[in-house]
Structure formats: C-alpha cells, structure tokens
Homo-oligomer: A and B are copies of this chain.
Amino acid sequence: MEFDRREFTTFLLGAAASVSVAGPASAQSDPLPSWNDGPAKQAIVKFVHATTDAASPNFVPLAERIATFDQDGTLWVEHPIYTQLVYCFDRVPDLVKAKPELANVEPFRTVLTGDREAIAKLGLDPLLKIVAATLTGVDVDTFRDEVAKWIAETRDPRWKRPYTELVYEPQIELLKYLRSVGYRTYIVTGGGQDFVRVYAEGVYGIPPEQVVGSAGAVSYQYGAKGPVLIKEPKLLLNDDNAGKPESIHLMIGRRPYFAFGNSTGDRQMLEYTKAGAGARLAMLVLHDDGAREYAYGPAQGLPDTKVGRFTPELYDEAIKDGWIVVSMKNDWKRIFAFE
C-alpha cells in the first residue's frame, strides 16, 4: 500500500544477486577478475572467509562489518596533483570575477597566469589560501551543483577523460565484493567531504553518509528562500594521519575490520584497524607502474614526490605488522575500466 514494493523488491533482489557472487556459484565467477592471483588477492579472499563464514572463529556480525578506503591514490589517480586542487585552481577566475580586488593579490595572481611551473611551486600556505577561498562562502547546495558541473565538464590532461573515469577497476570490484558479503564500504579521505560526496555514489556506489573526509564548519543562516548552510573558512575535521581514526570514531563509531590506503596519511587508520581483535585486514597500494599509471614512493626506490608519499618506514611497518602491500604492476591485471 504505502510502501513501494517494486522498489523494495529490486533492493532485496539487488542485495541477493550481489550475495550470489560470493555464494556457492562463485566457484565459476571470480568477484575480482582484475586482480592477478597472488598474495594480495588471496589475503582478501581469506579475510572474507574468516569474517563472514558463520563457522569461523573470527566471524563478524553483519552490523559490524565496516571497511574503510582512502580515496586519492587508493581508489583513483592522485598524480600529478589531487583532483580537488585542480577544481580549486579552476574556480579562481570566477572568484576573481566576483572579487576583482583579488586579481593582484598572491597567490591568486599566480594562478590566473596559468603558469603551471609557478603554480606547482606554491607552498602550503598559499595553497590553503586558495582552498579556503574557493571551497567556502557558498551554501552547500550551490557548492554541490558547482562541483557536479565541473566534474561532468572537466577532462584530465593525460588520458583526456573525466576524473571520475580514473578510478581503479580492481578497487571497484573489491568494493562490490565486500558489499556483496555484507560489508558497508566507507571512504575516509583527506580530501573534502562535501567534494567527494558529490560523485561518490555514482562512481563508487558509496552514499554521502558513508563518505568521511576533511570538513569545514557550516553555519545555519536564513537566506532569501529559507534556511541555508553556508560553508565557512574554518576547518572542523582534518581527516588525515591521526585525524582518520579520530573521524572514524566520530562519524561511524565502530572500528573497521578492513582498511585500504596508499600513503603515510593512512598509517594511523591502518594501525587502528589492525589493532582490533579478530581477523582484520590492512592494505596499501604501492604505485610502481609508471607505464600504466605513475611510479612513486619513496619506498622500494621509487621517486619521492610531494603527493601520496609511501615511505620506506611505512613499508617496514606494513611488513612488520602484516599489512598487505599491493603492487599495481604485479597485482592488478587491469587498472582502468577503459583500458
């Protein structure tokens, strides 16, 4: 009567259909076809068995099955520059149009020149100035619409594709696989929560309430058309490093059983996950495929870069604590869906 039975049936069947991927029929159908057989893939399958098989001593009740994923460099490309920073730079001309006095103020002046080398040399403080100016001062609905438009229109310079196509196909398979066995998949990103929420549902199948990210304060105000939430230039959550487990506690309130990252910014999230009782799996992407994507570290002698640092110390901690290091080159048969 009042409930839309068709919709709910689809919902149930959708869940059931996904489950069958991991059910008895899965002997034929591999839920992770883009992963090469090897220790990483085996560790995932072993973890899923250990935590979802009712006969397992490490069985985890459905409600507690939480998996957290970093985004930049873990779910999609982060090199040579975080996508959200490209958005911020692209917003500067509109910002200067609205506030012409900024045209001759640094760092806006440099961004307006379009000089990539000069922009790449901007330090942290100038960058934060640009971030604060371009991500705040609007209401959350306007911001969402602006990001959605930008995401739909913008192409990356290397592959000439929307940034939302630069997601790693093996990870999309992994997200679906974990969900099919009852895990709720969360993004826990140093990037902006409001930014990532715009496309996370469409791209990763992760709804807004399961996106945890860095977040500025919003303020409730009365606009011309009613109440609005204005994005303020005040950082509320810095969701990186120790901020990741801290935000996980705030936003989820449960310790994850599974966590996936790729850089020192994910270290504490992986430590926190691994320190829980029972079977827990912590994984790290190592970007060692310069041909198909990028190669950077500086772990394993790969070039050191500013973005997404995977240090030798992180590598050592991973080996010592039984985290799984995933080699893009060796563990991933295919990196992008468009390959």
Contacts and interface: CB of A to CB of B under 8 A. Distances in A.
Contact of A8 (B5, B62, B209, B246): B62
B208 A220 contact: no
A81 interface: no
A45 B209 CA distance: 27
A24 interface: yes
Interface string A224-254: 0011010000001100001001100111111
Contact of A253 (B23, B208, B220): B208
A12 B3 contact: no
A204 to B, nearest CB: 14
A234 to B, nearest CB: 12
A152 interface: no
Copies held by the complex: 2
Interface string A271-291: 110010000000000000000
Contacts of A104: none
A254 B48 CA distance: 31
Contact of A48 (B2, B11, B54, B201): B2
Interface string A50-82: 001110000101110000000000000000000
A335 interface: no
Contacts of A54: 4, 6-7
B8 A19 contact: yes
A115 to B, nearest CB: 36
A319 to B, nearest CB: 18
Interface in A1-29: 1-8, 11-12, 15-16, 19, 22-24, 26-27
Given A219-B242, A246-B229, A1 B16 contact: no
A208 B250 CA distance: 10
A290 B20 CA distance: 55
A122 interface: no
Contacts of A180: 3
A118 to B, nearest CB: 36
Interface of A: 1-8, 11-12, 15-16, 19, 22-24, 26-27, 45, 48-49, 52-54, 59, 61-63, 140, 180-182, 193-194, 197, 201, 207-209, 211, 215, 217-220, 226-227, 229, 236-237, 242, 245-246, 249-254, 268, 271-272, 275
